[in-house]
Amino acid sequence: MANHLTHGGPISDRDRLLLRNLLRALRHAPDDYGVTLDAAGWADLVALAQGVRERAPEWAWVTSADVERLVRQGTGGRFDLSPGRVRAAYGHSVPCTKTDRTNEPPEILFHGTTQLRMPGIREFGLLPQFRQHVHLTSDEPYARAVAARHLGPSPVLLVIRAKEAYETGIDFFPSNEHVWCSAHIPPTFISEWSL
């Protein structure tokens, strides 16, 4: 049984950079790290540590125990851990069937974006872009922070009528305690709030 891991407190800049490398290996570029993911996105911990070590000299110290410690310490719910294995909980651009647990979502979910993306969202809805799924959250402050931090000027908070969308046949997959994934959210279920 996999344990879904939550945020364990502040981490050092060095560990934050290592976390980014782990996420890159597990979400987007396993081949760059010599890592093989199974169909559900799981990677062997020892192979992942070895791949990180071989990728850059500054990571020569990394062991599987270091990877496990870091994943447990500061993940923000971004990893699942199982004995000897680890996977990214969401955010994949590589094919992965991890999110196969359709579930009824909360009434409302949120998505942070920017005004520059709104014309396409108004016309086509939310699309996964370069990832496997659209990422939504039940945590409004988290969505606001994502919009403000990562998406430049003119942040916009989208309000998704998730339960209504679910009732029309749109699938939602819980990824962690506040992140939900879906293949597509049509514009009819989206309202926008400028921040």
Domain boundaries, the chain: 3-88, 109-194
Other C-beta atoms lying within 10 Å of the C-beta of residue 23: 16
Give domain 109-194's CATH number out of 3.20.170.30, 3.20.20.10, 1.10.510.10, 3.50.50.60. 3.20.170.30
CATH architecture entry for 3-88:
Orthogonal Bundle (1.10)
Look over the chain and give the mean of its residue pLDDT values, rounded to a whole number.
79
pLDDT at 5: 37
> Given a cut of 90, is residue 186 above it in pLDDT?
yes
Residue 187 near residue 125 (C-beta atoms within 8 A): yes
- Per-residue model confidence as pLDDT tens digits over 30-83: 888 888 877 777 888 888 888 888 888 888 888 988 888 888 875 666 777 778
Please give the structure tokens belonging to residue 7.
Answer: 């945020």
Give yes or no on whether 3-88 and 109-194 have one common fold: no
> Given a cut of 70, is residue 85 above it in pLDDT?
yes
Q: State how far the Cα of 91 lies from the Cα of 78, in Å rounded to an integer.
A: 9
Query: How many C-alpha atoms does 173 have within 13 Å on its Cβ side?
Result: 17
Rg of the chain (C-alpha set)? 17
> CA dihedral in degrees (26, 114, 99, 43; nearest 10)?
0
pLDDT band at 3 (very low <50, low <70, confident <90, very high): very low
Q: In what order do the strands lie in the sheet with 3-4?
A: 3-4, 79-82, 85-88, 43-44
> Given a cut of 80, is residue 131 above it in pLDDT?
no
Average pLDDT for residues 124-142, to the nearest whole number?
Answer: 82
Residue 19 near residue 70 (C-beta atoms within 8 A): yes
